[in-house]
Amino acid sequence: MKKIAILVTILLFLLLIWQCGNNGDTMTGQKQPMKKAAAVDKAVISKVTDALIKKHGDENAERIKRGVRHAAGLWRQSDGSSEAFETFCLDHFIAAEEERELVFKKLSRNFEVILGHFNKIELDLKAPLHLDAGEIHPIDQIFGGCDVGSHLDEDFYRNKIAFIVALNFPYYSLDEKKKLGRDWSRKEWAYARLGDFYISRVPAELKQKYSEVNSNARVYISQYNIYAGKLVNDKGEKLFPKDLILLSHWNLRDELIANYGTARGMEKQRMIYEVMKRIISQEIPQQVINSNQWDWNPYQNKVFKDGEVVELKPEPNTRYQHILNSFRALKAADAYYPPSMDTFIKRKFAGEMEIPQPEVEALFIKFISSPQVKKTAQLIRSRLKRDLEPFDIWYDGFTARSGISEEKLNAITRKKYPTAKALETDLTNILLKLGFSREKADFLASKIVVEAARGSGHAWGPEMKAEKAHLRTRVPTDGMNYKGYVIAVHEFGHNVEQIVSLNDVDYYMMQGVPNTAFTEALAYIFQKQNLDLLGIKETNPDKDYLKALETCWNAYEIMGVSLLDMRTWKWMYEHPEANVQQLKEAVIRIAKDIWNNYYADVFGGVKDQPILAVYSHMIHYPLYLTGYAYGELIKFQIEQHLESKDFAAEVERMFSAGRLTPNLWMKNAAGKEIAIEPILQATDEALKHIK
């Protein structure tokens, strides 16, 4: 499961801090938000620039021009007159590098204090929603949806801290970072990342609204459990253990994967896929969600109580209403951004991910259209000795489990980790097995708290060095099963990244990774070592070939899901007045179109499958799924780099680089920029050897 990258969340709202004032209630439509109204005209900008250059010399001219222009773009009438702007710039421009560095250090220290404590408050307020600790009361949801830092930016514009930053540490565009950043020193990079904090302004109430919407979506997903033991087929048979509870979509997918090669495995897989389709179509009966009171036949979509058919209403498009709520809340902020960031799509990709969306989509289409994918599918078909079915998009027969059944693996993990605390106690040993020194292992383990999750699990990082990261995974009363353990190892990888990229980076403003794909990459690398960490060694001589095929197939699946996520958001922007029924129909239609264009031929001509729409991330992590797809590419290149290296030492080196641009980070880390060719070439090699 993916990391809750609090850095990414904050940078979404602080890296791209929102523009201008509000002219009424934009969420209700009573009044429309005003576009940015310039309070400082070009003549004033020129006058102030000339005055500062005359005062501080030509050697500061470029920085003066950039800083004045940037600060002027943020200045509003409420901030003061043109004369006030001129006075501010003359008083607060810092020419001496010694003083500028001093101010930078003070800003860094204070931002760590503020962001770190806001992060802890949010973590604590959301604990009743995220942790497996009894029923959620409505008051928990209200507190969990509260963004206590929503007024911070507004306050910093009012007291002029934001303008001091903008004037002295101005913003560089993505193109400028890519061009100039190759020659920047670490300090220059840190200055530029500080400049990212303030590029626009938005009212606090819009940020607060999105926080509420997102929190509600997360609660909805965290409780979307299917009681598999209550599923029946057309013969009235129950195929799953009576106490098996599967969270959508994560556990449904993982249970489907676990049934390859098991008794009646195909029947179970087909039943799970029917459940998925009912969720996607919203034909699922409302009352079977998170309830063990009813028997449900997902094929016929009939519900039974004591053997008698009961009429229940379907879920009322709640899934898609949460997507629509997120769209409306985020779109409400568009008017407060400059043209380069005036849609959430632009902010997510060019802004946060620092890879433009068209570039992402083109790369994914090139990969999923590759002949290597079709050849891999042919190999899977021959290994399964049957035609592929849509759910084989999750085929994991290239993953080594050393022939041990999931039942035995469950027994091992439940005994080893009966509680979340047992895993926390064992973190040092896990790190030692991965090659970290005793000192480093003790330090990393001391910075992580393990807790039982209400949902699928996640990793929540600290925003200041004094705080700890939190690892969450499902821990049933009888102990952690193998699925929960695999999630825990994945999240542990996130935690290690979070701690290293905060504590080992040289400047606080450089903390973190370029985007979520990089933390996903390390989480994947950790996850793949889960059996080794249990003491189960993989001795298959073809393991490297299998790893390449597994990565190829995983990337093929998640890139299609990512395309759906992106195209859904494009559709919403093209149809901003659409209702929830229209959105549902659009998502399903787009999912089928992507399937028909890039998957149907690979799957033997089976058309019109909606399976790509099952991911829960679309509900409460808008446009996050691309991070997984890029994570597969990055993971593979890093794994190739690590083959002849000291794993622990290289992880520490790579992830202490901080927030460089994606390709610069990759080149420094593994010698090459991000590309699909390494996986495709390795897949070609693997196809020659694996039969």
CB count in 10 Å sphere of residue 393 = 24
Lowest mean pLDDT of 17-31, 46-60, 429-443, name the range. 17-31
Over pLDDT 90: what percentage of the chain?
81
Indicate if the pLDDT at residue 671 is higher than 50.
Answer: yes
User: pLDDT, tens digit, for every residue of 295-312?
Assistant: 999 999 999 999 999 999
Q: Cβ atoms within 10 A of the Cβ of 283, count?
A: 12
Mean pLDDT within 203-217 = 91
Residue 460: φ, ψ to 5°: -120, 115
pLDDT score at 136? 83
User: Strand pairing partners for 606?
Assistant: none
Quickly count: other Cβ atoms within 10 Å of residue 114's Cβ. 15
The pLDDT of 555-580, averaged and rounded, is 98
pTM to 2 decimals? 0.87
pLDDT for the residue numbered 7 = 41
Q: Which residue has the tokens 């509420």?
A: 212
d(CA 625, CA 558): 8
For residue 30, pLDDT beyond 50: no
**For residue 90, is pLDDT > 70?**
yes
Asked if the model's pLDDT at residue 16 lies above 70, the reply is no
Of the CA atoms within 13 Å of residue 608, those in its CB half-sphere come to 0
362 pLDDT above the threshold of 60 = yes
Q: How many CA atoms lie within 13 A of 57 on its CB side?
A: 5
Name the burial class of residue 228, with classes exposed (0-12), middle (13-18) and buried (19+) by CB atoms within 10 angstroms of its CB: buried
Confidence of residue 149 (pLDDT cuts 50, 70, 90): confident
CA distance 480 to 176: 48
Element (H, E) at 82: helix 82-92
Residues 6+ apart with CB under 8 A from 535: none
Residue 506: what pLDDT?
97
| DSSP H or E segment with residue 269 | helix 265-281
CB 424 within 8 A of CB 448: yes
Task: Categorize the per-residue pLDDT at 33 as very low, low, confident or very high, splitting at 50, 70 and 90.
Answer: very low
Q: Tell me the pairing of strands 308-310 and 225-227.
A: unpaired
Give 137's pLDDT tier (boundaries 50, 70, 90).
confident
Which pLDDT belongs to residue 12?
39
pLDDT of residue 401: 59
Question: For residue 505, what are the CA distances in angstroms to 508, 509, 652?
Answer: 7, 9, 10
Mean pLDDT across the stretch 608-628?
96
Q: Rounded to an integer, what distance in angstroms lies between the CA atom of residue 647 and that of residue 19?
A: 44
* Mean pLDDT of all residues in 121-126: 90
**pLDDT surpassing 70 at residue 24:** no
The candidate with the shortest Cα–Cα distance to 496, out of 453, 439, 436, 454, is: 436
Q: Average pLDDT for residues 326-352, to the nearest whole number?
A: 94
Query: Measuring CA to CA, which residue among 631, 514, 513 is closest to residue 561?
Result: 631
C-alpha span between 562 and 552 (Å, rounded) = 15
Distances (CA, A) of 262 to 127, 270, 393: 38, 13, 18
Is residue 561 over pLDDT 80?
A: yes
Q: Buried b vs exposed e over 308-322: b needs ≥16 C-beta within 10 Å?
A: eeeebeebebebbbb
Q: What is the pLDDT of residue 126?
A: 87
> For the chain, what is the largest distance between any 2 Cα atoms, rounded to a whole number of angstroms?
89
Choice between 539 and 434, residue whose per-residue pLDDT is larger? 434
- Does residue 2 surpass a pLDDT of 70? no
CA atoms of 164 and 158, how far apart (whole Å): 11
| 672 touches 637 (CB < 8 A) | yes
Count Cα neighbours of 80 within 13 Å in the Cβ-side half-sphere: 15
pLDDT at 398 over 80: yes
pLDDT for 38: 61
In a 10 Å sphere around its CB, with 0-12 CB exposed, 13-18 middle and 19+ buried, how is residue 614 labelled? buried
Least confident segment among 16-25, 255-264, 460-469: 16-25
Predicted pLDDT at 35: 46
Q: Tokens 């523009």 sit at which residue?
A: 19
**Average of per-residue pLDDT across 228-250:** 95
Res 653 pLDDT > 60: yes
CB-CB contact of 536 with 495 (8 Å) = no
Going by C-alpha positions, the residue among 326, 342, 328 that lies closest to residue 20 is: 342
pLDDT at 644: 86
Residue predicted with more confidence, 181 or 19? 181
Distance CA 426, CA 429 (A): 5
For helices 482-503 and 420-433, the axis angle rounded to 10 degrees is: 60
Reply yes or no on whether the pLDDT at 402 is more than 70: no
Written as one string, the DSSP assignment of 390-422 is GGGGG--TTS--TT--HHHHHHHHHHH-SSHHH
Average pLDDT along the chain: 91
**Inter-CA distances, 573 with 207, 351, 469, 566, 588, Å:** 19, 18, 36, 11, 17
